[in-house]
Amino acid sequence: MRRNAREQAHERGNAMLLVLLAMSGLAALGGMSALAVRGGLDAAGHDRFKAIALYAAESGAAAAVDFVRKEQAAGRTLSDLVEPYNYDPQPPTGIAGNGALPDDDDNPFSTDLQAWYEVVILNNATDTGLAAGDDTDARFVVRATGHGPNGAVAMVEWDVRANFTGSTMAHCPSYGQRGLAEDGAGRNDCLTTIDSTATATYTPGE
Amino acid sequence: MRTHQPNRRVAPAALAAAALLAAPVTGRAQSLETCPETSPSASWVGATLDSDTTKDGVVYDGSGGGKLKLQTAGGVFTSTSLGIADLTVYAATADFDRDGWMDFVGIGEGNSFVRIYRNRTFDNPAPDWTNPSAVRTPKFVNVRSLVTGTNSQKYRPVAAGDFNGDGWPDVFRAEANPGERPTVATLWLNQASNDGSGNPRFNSGYTPWASPTTTATVGYQTWSGTNVAVLDYNGDRKLDMLIGSNENNGEIRVFTNQCTLMSPQPTPVPAAPAPLRCSNNPTFKHTATLITNLGYGTGSSGKLPVFSYTDIDFPADGKRDLIVGSPICCSSSSQRLRIYKGITATTVSSSYQSVSFAGGATGILAADFSLDGRLDLIVTTDNWNYNDGDGGKAFYYVNDGDSAPFSGGVTQQLTDILDYDVSFIFNYDNDPANTPDVMVADGNHTSSFYVLANRVVNQFVECGEAASGVIPLNDLESSEMVVTAARIDPQVALNGTGSVTFYLSNEEPPNWVQATDCGDGTGDLCATFPKSSGRDVRWKAYMCSGNNKTTSPTITGMTARFQYTETTEHYRGGTTVNDGIAYLGAFRQPGDRGRFYAINAGLSQTYWEAANKLDESTNDSERRLYTAHRDTGERLDFSVSNASDVGLQATLGAANAAEAADVVEWVRSARFGVGNDGIALSKLGAIETSTPAILTPPGLPTWYLFAPGAQRAKVDQFIANNASRPTLVLFGSKDGIVHALRSRATDISNSSNGKEAWGYIPPHVAGGFLADYSTSIATEMVNSAYPDGSVTLADVHDADGEMMTIALIAAGNGGDSIAAFDVTRTIDPSTNNVLGPTPLWTAIPGGAAAGRAFSKPAVARVEIDNATRFIAIAGTGMSFTDTTPPFEYGRIVEAYDAITGDVLWKFQTRCALTSDIAVFETRDELEPGNPTIDGYMDRAVFADACGYVYKVDPARDLGGGWNVNDGLGSIEADVVDGQQLYALFSTLDTDEALGVESPIAGTLGAQIDGDTSRLVLFFGTGGLESHSVAEQNAFYAVYADTGEIRAQMAGACPGGRCEKFYGGVVVTREQVMFTRTVDPRIGTGTCDRGTSVIQAVQLSTLEDGQFAVDFEVNAAAATMSALYGDAGAVYFSTLGGDVVRVGSPRATEAGGDSATGSANDPLEEGEGTGSLDSPMSLLGWRQVY
């Protein structure tokens, strides 16, 4: 069945509202600062059901971040939440509403939305502990699949950094010095991949 | 792309196009004046081998065109009567009449006479010097009585020396009732002219003390013996006295000469270290104590420290050693004769080395009796105090040349009479070999005065050395240039199993670097100087006899050339980048002028230069300079107005306030540069190898999340309290000062940028100023004591959890010490007033066994006995006097409490330390002890000049004991006190390594490899300028748990000249970056700056078991400096005078990071900020579908 243009316009407006609601709720759920956002708001063009699914996915992702924060506050590490090579990743039941269908008491959405989500937590691919299933850089990826009415599905992935909790801190020098830090190990985990095509020389004494 | 190295795997897809920096990116024309050039050849042949060399154990033989060969051995002593009948019990030697024949002053014990005995041995015929048993009959004539003498039993220690610097020796004598403190002390100054008979004359004596020192200060005189030494103790070009007494359980007190030096000095000014001329009569003050509490008791008869200290150096390291005994000593035979090795020029170690000795020492005489170039020993004994009746012996010990020079015990017992009271060394007969002879006497008995004439035998000494004079600079004399390397072509015949090893040096005093094959097929020998800041080039040959000492190698000729660079500035230190500004130091030669630059990270403009600011816009009264009391650690203002502070005087070793003021004024003055007309001198000294450190507001320490909540709260408060801390740039320079410069990246045009906020002078550095000052005002500028290391900055906390920021710096080329100071709050951020640093502690890692402190200390948070401690781990490095195996110096690594300086443990490497210290956490399953990632460092690693990498557990408090590392390596490296120490890796012994020893220098990178999740160490070999360019090197990734090689890359050897890995390593989560350098060719007459390649390989991915290359970037000149990585780019400097950047910096201009909120964020990668208020950051998101 094709919907008429008026209905579509109304649904697009709702979808945009939902996305904005989801985004604004992130910080509250996760205690998280949304930084340079790399993704786009492509969801604005989806239909209403898709928008509900996307809303559900983002809600699930936010719930996952909140879960991780609480887990770490309780002393667990990110390494406890990820698997080697992300094979068969964990869908933690501690994530509020994770896997709870619309009729389930744990489902956080109103029944009329017919929304629910499934969330897994992955290690980031650049983590040197990926093979061993260890977190070594305090970064993780939340993969949340949201479900809406009429079989609508959306999936989002959030790349999240746990700033000051986790298993191994990213080793990023503070005071500039020879050897890069007081440990003298020449290590800078925050130095991005070097673009070898960008070079320069300068002679200060001239 | 390089494809000829079989071990180098290049991933084509990953290999970036190499950017050829030889083509100037910034459009700058290549500066021809920076091109290395070669000097004309200097040659030594025939008579110049004699006239332009100093020889020790080596002689010139003019036959057959002339050659250098080994000296025939000495040490054959023939006893003959001295020929005097006076009852002399105290004596000292000097050439009082300056006729070239050594005289002596003799003093009685039962009679008060003081007589000058003139040496007239020349009146007797010379014997057949080729006959080892023949002697020249001594003839000593009493020509002057300073005291006629009456009978009175007193102890009368005596000394002779040119105390007023007029070139004529004077006489000092004290007088004490037996066992008591002296009541009389007299100094007779030589009249500086002889009488008509050629006999010396003296002025009336006077009491030579400066208040508050008195005659009694000399201390209890409880027996007779060699208990006075005359030397320039503090390096001020004035002779001082050290006197042993039975005070305080036995001690040796230092009485420094208080005379005022003439200014200007009469010409010609004698060369250092000869004394300079005083303008008034010398007086002495007790200003220091060399050693105390020798275990002799106090005021006990016979227990007098008898010692030798002047010119004692076993082996030669420039730090005098003390050898001490006593007529009665001790309950333990191991204490009877002890060697205390020098820690600095004025101090000795508190621990000692025993010399096997049976007797009570009355005379300790050290000289090169055997003529082999090493100090030997003769000890004479008393009759009454050791097994009554067992005295009157003279024991001869020949130095075996190692760090325990007399471990072989007595070589020969020379004589055996009743008792020896007095003895001294003199070359009484002026024999052709200039052998040191000995006078020994039972001074209470006539006819018991003997000369032990030292004669040569029909064998060669085991080893000896000859050193050339300085190569004339000729037209280069007035040129601004720096000598970087030299090449020699020696004409040598080994004549059997002998050997000759050659060395080259480019400065005064020499820093000998072994010359090795130049690698160009000529057979010439080359050396690159690690300290290219001198231009006094000379060579040295160390020759050893062969065939059981019956043959000697010969040198019949030598040619030498050196490589120099005429240029404005040189860069040996590294670059550090912060908030869009790159900082680096430089030096100009000659003149040791320093420069310090702040340039934009985009590398297109200079923001400021500090030397000019120090000279032109900083009044001396504005400067805030500090040092620390050498004993108490108390902070002292380093100012002329504070020169009256006795602590400052003691730290400087100054004789008085006036001398301290002179030294302080000199240090603060503009003294660097050539001094040409129209070109002012400058205050900032050369910045040789010091890489700057940037003190910013503190960030979160890496251990933060592992700390207990209460500690995290203290960290939070610490960060909040210091959020406005002004940024300072810290570095060391040759003016002796650790400078702290202001830098406001967000206000780059502010005139305060680059101005000195304060300066700190480590106390050991301050202790070296007096000698440098004295030499500098008399002859030429010398700066040998200065902080040349790179500052380590760290946030630590004490036992109460109170946070602070500490700085540590090692002396590098400028000494062997390290110093720690608190820099938490050195400037009041609200007023900008300077509060200054707070000294914490100072140390010499390894004490008497320290080398030059090249290694950068590391700071680690560790857990010891369930308590959190912060420790500093530090070592030194190669000594200029000890550059080849077996190494004696620079092998000790010690751990200190980072705040108190208490020593926790020590470790000894097989060879001199050459790397910085690195620490890391690990949870590798193969690592013993099941370490975990918990915010506490688990291992410390370091490497040495022979290619051994060591791993130790840093979290131990052993009270300074050996940190035995069982299980942390399997390669037996060294044994200390019967305990085996191990290496984790060896270029010689590890499977698939080089198979030869090769130095590992600079940074040891440490990172977890993403493939195996094991911690891997990254380092390369050959990273010393002195290492032969002809030897193969390699870069390794080695598993930190087992020491097994994970991957390696062979250095290329094009044309027989091999790439070196100088130790600049930066490791990210994805890449490992390092440098491959080919040193410039030496002395070829071609323009060769050397080359370097910045190499990046993947951290976690291997291809066919070897490194997968990410990129290679060529640099136009060799680099030996550290690599620095910051915010998207790596930086380094080259010998050619360029700063080079690879990568795109996040902030290209000053304050760029601050503007985006990225400054000082340890977690920041470039996409935003993290803070304590945001436990999670969303780095990015995407909708998959």
Write out residues 848-887 of B within 8 Å (CB-CB) of A: 856-860
End-to-end Cα spacing for chain A: 76
State yes or no: pLDDT of B966 exceeds 90: yes
pLDDT confidence of residue B644: 95
Nearest CB partner across the interface for B691, out of A164, A178, A186? A178
List pLDDT tens digits, range B5-46.
Answer: 333 333 333 333 333 333 322 222 233 335 678 888 999 999
Nearest 5°: the CA angle B143, B145, B148 is: 140
Asked if the C-beta of B1128 comes within 8 angstroms of chain A's C-beta atoms, the answer is: yes
Q: Say which of B1065, B1113, B1177 has its CB closest to residue A163.
A: B1177
Exposed / middle / buried, residue A108 (Cβ in 10 Å: 0-12, 13-18, 19+)? middle
Spell out a b/e string for B930-952, using b for 16 or more CB atoms within 10 Å of the CB, else e. ebebebbbbbbbbbbbbbbbbbb
pLDDT at B511: 84
Give ∠ CA B872-B531-B1086 in degrees, rounded to 5: 140
Note which residues in 1012-1041 of chain B have CB less than 8 A from chain A: 1012-1013, 1018
Question: Which residues does chain A have within 8 Å of residue B793's beta carbon, measured at their own beta carbons?
Answer: 175, 177, 182
B666 touches chain A (CB under 8 A): no
pLDDT at A163 over 70: no
Q: How far is CA B142 from CA B120, B121, B205, B889, B931, in A?
A: 10, 13, 19, 48, 78
Say how far apart CA A184 and CA A177 lie, in whole Å: 9
Contacts of B1008 in chain A (CB under 8 A): 128-129, 136
Chain A positions touching B696 (Cβ under 8 A) are: 174-176
Q: Cβ of B804 under 8 Å from any chain A Cβ?
A: no
pLDDT digits (tens, 9 = 90+) for B430-459: 998 888 999 988 877 756 788 888 888 878
Give every CB contact of residue B1014 below 8 A, 6+ residues apart in sequence. Answer: B924, B926, B1008, B1039, B1040, B1041
Q: CA–CA separation, A173 vs B1164, rounded Å?
A: 10
Measured N-to-C along each axis, helices B769-778 and B657-668 cross at an angle, to the nearest 10 degrees, of 80
Between vectors from CA B463 to CA B311 and to CA B518, what angle results, nearest 5°? 105
| Residue B249 or residue B449, greater confidence | B249
> Across the interface, do B1128 and A194 touch by the CB < 8 Å criterion?
yes
Closest Cα of chain A to B955: distance in Å? 14
Per-residue pLDDT, averaged over B830-844, amounts to: 96
Please answer yes or no on whether B1175 and A165 come within 8 Å at the CB atom.
yes
**In this complex, do B1142 and A199 lie within 8 Å of one another by their Cβ atoms?**
yes
Between A34, A136, A200, which is nearest B1141 by CB? A200
Q: Can you spell out the DSSP letters for A27-80? A: HHHH-EEE-S--S--GGGGS-HHHHHHHHHHHHHHHHHHHHHHHHHHTT--GGG
Residues B1182, A38: C-beta atoms closer than 8 Å: yes
Q: Give the lowest-confidence range in A111-115, B439-443, B1115-1119.
A: B1115-1119
pLDDT at site B444: 75
A-proximal residues of B, 1065-1084, CB under 8 Å:
1065-1071, 1073
A139 to B1073: CB separation less than 8 angstroms, yes or no: no
Partner A contacted by B595 (CB < 8 A)? yes
Count residue pairs from A and B with Cβ separation < 8 A: 355
How confident is the model at residue A12, as a pLDDT? 34
Q: Give the separation between CA A151 and CA B623, rounded to whole angstroms.
A: 76
Neighbours of B278 (CB within 10 A): 23
Q: What is the pLDDT of residue B419?
A: 81
**For residue range B252-295, what is the model confidence (pLDDT) as tens digits?**
999 999 999 998 899 898 888 899 999 999 999 999 999 999 99
Which chain B residue is nearest to residue A130, measuring alpha carbons? Answer: B1010
For B416-433, the pLDDT digits (tens) are: 777 888 899 999 999 988
pLDDT value at residue B709: 77
Does residue B975 register a pLDDT over 80? yes
Looking at residue B677, its pLDDT comes to: 66
* Residues in CB range of A75: below 8 A, 6 or more apart: none
Work out the pLDDT band at B1065, boundaries 50, 70, 90: very high
**Both tokens assigned to B606:** 């200079």
Partners of residue A33 in chain B, C-beta under 8 Å: 1168-1171, 1173-1174, 1176-1178
Q: Do B1181 and A38 touch (CB under 8 A)?
A: yes
Single pTM value for the model? 0.74
Quick one: pLDDT at residue B1159? 55
Q: Which of A40, A143, A205 sits opposite B568 (nearest CB)?
A: A205
Q: Is the pLDDT of residue A75 over 60?
A: no
Kindly report which listed range (A42-51, B685-694, B766-775) carries the lowest average pLDDT score. Answer: A42-51
8 A C-beta contact, residue B737 and residue B626: no
Q: How far is B637 from chain A (nearest CA, A)?
A: 27
Report CB contact under 8 Å: B933, A30: no
Distance, in Å, from the CA atom of B757 to the CA atom of B728, rounded to the nearest integer, reads: 8
Looking at per-residue pLDDT, the higher value among B505 and A191 belongs to B505
Q: What is the CA radius of gyration of chain B?
A: 31
Rounded Cα–Cα distance for residues B709 and A75 (Å): 12
Encoded tokens for B669: 């003055």
Residue B147 CA to residue B116 CA, distance in Å, equals 10
CB contact under 8 A, A168 and B933: yes
Residues 606-635, chain B: which have Cβ within 8 Å of A?
A: 606, 609
Q: Which residues of A touch B1061 (CB under 8 A)?
A: none
Class of residue A24 by CB neighbours under 10 A (exposed 0-12, middle 13-18, buried 19+):
exposed
- Residue, of B415 and B404, whose pLDDT is higher: B404
Is residue B89 within 8 A of residue B108, CB to CB? The reply is yes
Does B26 contact chain A (CB < 8 Å)?
yes
Contact call for B1069 and A137, based on CB within 8 A: yes
Of B1096, B1168, B1176, the CB nearest to A160: B1176
- Facing residue for B19 by CB, picked from A165, A183, A197: A197
Q: What ipTM does this complex have? A: 0.76
Instruction: Give the lowest-confidence range in B212-216, B431-435, B805-809, B976-980.
Output: B431-435
Is the CB of residue B780 less than 8 Å from the CB of residue B683?
no
Looking at chain B, which residue has its C-alpha nearest residue A65? Answer: B1176
- Residue at token pair 């830090």: A181
